[in-house]
Copies of this chain bind each other. A is one copy, B any other.
Amino acid sequence: MNAQDFRIGVVGAGMMGADHIRRITRSISGANVSAVIEPDTGRAQAALGDAPAAQAFTRVEDALDAGAVDGLLIATPGFLHEPVLLPAIEAGIPTLCEKPLTPDPESSLRVLEAEQAGGRRLIQVGFMRRFDPEYRQLRGLVESGETGELLMLRCAHRNAVVPDSYQQESLITDSVVHEFDIVPWLAGSPIRSVEVKFARRNPLTPERLREPILVLMELENGVLVDLEMNVSVQFGYQVSTEAVFSSGIARIGEPTGLQTWHAGRFSMGEHADFTTRFATAYDAQVQAWVDASRAGTTTGPSAWDGYRVAVACQEGVASLGGGGQRTIDVPPTPAFYA
């Protein structure tokens, strides 16, 4: 663990918490998991497999008292957030809290009051769509005015299926909750009203649910929003937004990234250079090499691959210089490289 790293205590080691532990350990720089706070010892032990240097606690107060964390990441169910947020604020610890902040406005207000009383902003809520490249591009388009003023948002949130724990209210509190955050963020205006309409019920939806639904929102600036919330669409997962502007249309959430209709054309961006086209490949390459080297093994293209390419380049250059069709002559791969 680097001395200067930011030490994170992850609260809750369920599916979401375990995913964050893996993320902090594998993908995030400048931070490590220093504590796992989880009353279920089985879960806690499993989570420590990915973060062997972390300490296990069953109560957040103990982790704070031990000075074991510089920040907290809360990944428990929403009704357990307040009991963690209040001591974290008390201790002055920056906290990333999975959505929702708390399950109802009253408890949220108590958290707000505590944070303000402390005099310092400490809480970030996990509405991760704000960090999605496509939502950011779309917001950039709203701000640029390139396609005019924003007039409507036509949204769809489609899950293939949902788990047994998903209840009728979850349509709002687990799923639409994301739109309640991102719509005002995109449109630059708060929500004035909300209304739910029911579509024909999906015969494939679980007995306990009545959906899909259409959620209508009016924003203070007049922007109108209709959101299809659909959790049994079977075919896959799709979260899309079509933004209607005064002189064009834009859409995100299909496999192609931001699409626009403007000035008589439908268009999508193309890569400008290799840094975006092959960003994933470069990272994956070096990570694979590091992992193999640490394990004392090898992976990826070998020196023999390098040699074969050198021969092909030699003949390619000869053909480029006017040599016509050139044979590539490489001996059989030695067993050493097979």
Contacts and interface: CB of A to CB of B under 8 A. Distances in A.
A184 B330 CA distance: 13
A277 B151 CA distance: 25
A202 B244 CA distance: 10
Contact of A290 (B31, B221, B308): B31
5 contacts: A151-B201, A198-B222, A215-B316, A237-B271, A256-B256
A32, A130, A286: residue with the most chain B Cβ atoms closer than 10 Å: A286
A270 B265 contact: yes
Given A112-B307, A190-B308, 4 more contacts: A70-B293, A126-B285, A128-B278, A232-B246
Interface in A264-315: 264-274, 277-278, 280-294, 298-315
Interface string A184-204: 100000111111111111111
B194 A306 contact: no
Contact of A306 (B108, B154, B237, B286): B108
A117 B116 CA distance: 68
Nearest to A264: B236
A78 to B, nearest CB: 9
Contacts of A32: 2
A144 interface: no
A1 B107 CA distance: 41
A312 B184 CA distance: 11
A204 B151 CA distance: 11
Interface residues of A, number: 180
A292 B32 CA distance: 15
B226 A124 contact: no
Contacts of A309: 99-101, 125, 127, 177, 180-181
Interface of A is mostly: mixed
Nearest to A330: B190
Contact of A121 (B147, B265, B267, B337): B337
Contact of A172 (B23, B195, B214, B316): B316
A260 to B, nearest CB: 9
Contact of A267 (B8, B248, B265): B265
B317 A172 contact: yes
Nearest to A288: B131
A286 B20 contact: yes
B193 A328 contact: yes
A305 to B, nearest CB: 6
Interface stretch (A38-46, A55-63, A319-327): A319-327
Contacts of A334: 116
B228 A299 contact: no
Contacts of A116: 334, 336
B130 A317 contact: no
Nearest to A280: B133
B230 A125 contact: no
Contacts of A101: 303, 305-307, 309-310
Interface in A109-131: 109, 111-112, 115-116, 121-131
